């Protein structure tokens, strides 16, 4: 049990990595499967099997009504890296973040273990959470998460398995609620300029991540 309960209508930086720092995404399909889990498991109603859920959707059993169900969390931004991930989440249902992460972690581990013929845990213990208490912290953490792939030196381009393309107007997806961040900027280009100016500094200061994570 966590030392402090996660509070509804509050924002949290959520992160975890593969056990023994192992890679948890081995190809593009793995990333896409994880993103699908983020989308489909974010519902107060339980989804016991993503495969079964998708089969029911194809048959029309699960449709628009499902999409209108209450979500567990608001996904503000995310970044999936080869051996770890980062989210910023707002909890909107009681115990929503813990339930959301339990579903994602269990479902993706089952998928990964079946696909790659392995067994055992995939993630390094329970997910880590940091309470975001100020608007300034939320703003800078959005940049830290959106640009995390670059900050860790995986590449210099726009990483498709993050929410950065949505924030800078290069892609339109409905996975994230970007309003709380983008309302501070004139337009996506303004956010892109902010990201460009500050990401290099964050990369240079990567060894001093304590400020960003607390």
**91-124 pLDDT, tens per residue?**
999 999 999 999 999 999 999 999 999 999 999 9
Eight-class DSSP state of 19: G
Kindly report the number of other CB atoms within 10 A of residue 81's CB atom: 22
Q: 15 φ, ψ to 5°?
A: -155, 155
| Per-domain residue ranges of the chain | 11-213
Residue 198 token pair: 């500050």
pLDDT of residue 87: 98
Query: What integer pLDDT is reported at residue 214 of this predicted model?
Result: 41
Grouping H, G, I as helix, E, B as strand and the rest as coil, residue 35 is: helix
The pLDDT of residue 65: 44
Query: In the chain, what percentage of residues exceed pLDDT 90?
Result: 72
What pLDDT does 212 receive? 46
Task: Report the alpha-carbon distance of residue 183 to residue 139 in Å, rounded.
Answer: 11
- pLDDT tier at 64, thresholds 50, 70, 90: very low
Classify 11-213 by CATH class.
Answer: alpha beta
At residue 51 the predicted structure's pLDDT band, cuts being 50, 70 and 90, is: low
- Sign (positive/negative) of CA torsion 191, 83, 99, 31? positive
């Amino acid at each position: 049990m966590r030392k402090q309960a996660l509070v509804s209508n509050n924002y949290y930086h959520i992160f975890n990595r593969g056990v023994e720092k192992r890679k948890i995404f081995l190809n593009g399909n793995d990333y896409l499967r994880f993103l699908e889990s983020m989308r489909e498991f974010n519902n107060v109603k339980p989804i016991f099997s993503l495969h079964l859920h998708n089969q029911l959707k194809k048959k029309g059993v699960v449709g628009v009504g499902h999409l209108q169900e209450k979500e567990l969390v608001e996904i503000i931004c995310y970044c999936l890296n080869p051996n770890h991930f980062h989210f910023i989440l707002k909890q909107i249902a009681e115990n929503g973040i813990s339930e959301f992460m339990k579903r994602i972690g269990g479902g993706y581990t089952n998928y990964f273990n079946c696909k790659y013929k392995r067994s055992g845990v995939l993630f390094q213990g329970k997910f880590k959470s940091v309470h975001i208490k100020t608007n300034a912290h939320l703003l800078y953490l959005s940049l830290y998460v959106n640009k995390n792939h670059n900050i860790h030196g995986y590449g210099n381009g726009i990483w498709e398995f993050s929410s950065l393309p949505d924030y800078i107007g290069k892609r339109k997806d409905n996975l994230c609620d970007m309003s709380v961040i983008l309302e501070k900027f004139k337009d996506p280009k303004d956010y892109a300029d902010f990201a460009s100016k500050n990401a290099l500094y964050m990369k240079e200061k990567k060894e001093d991540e304590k400020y960003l994570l607390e």
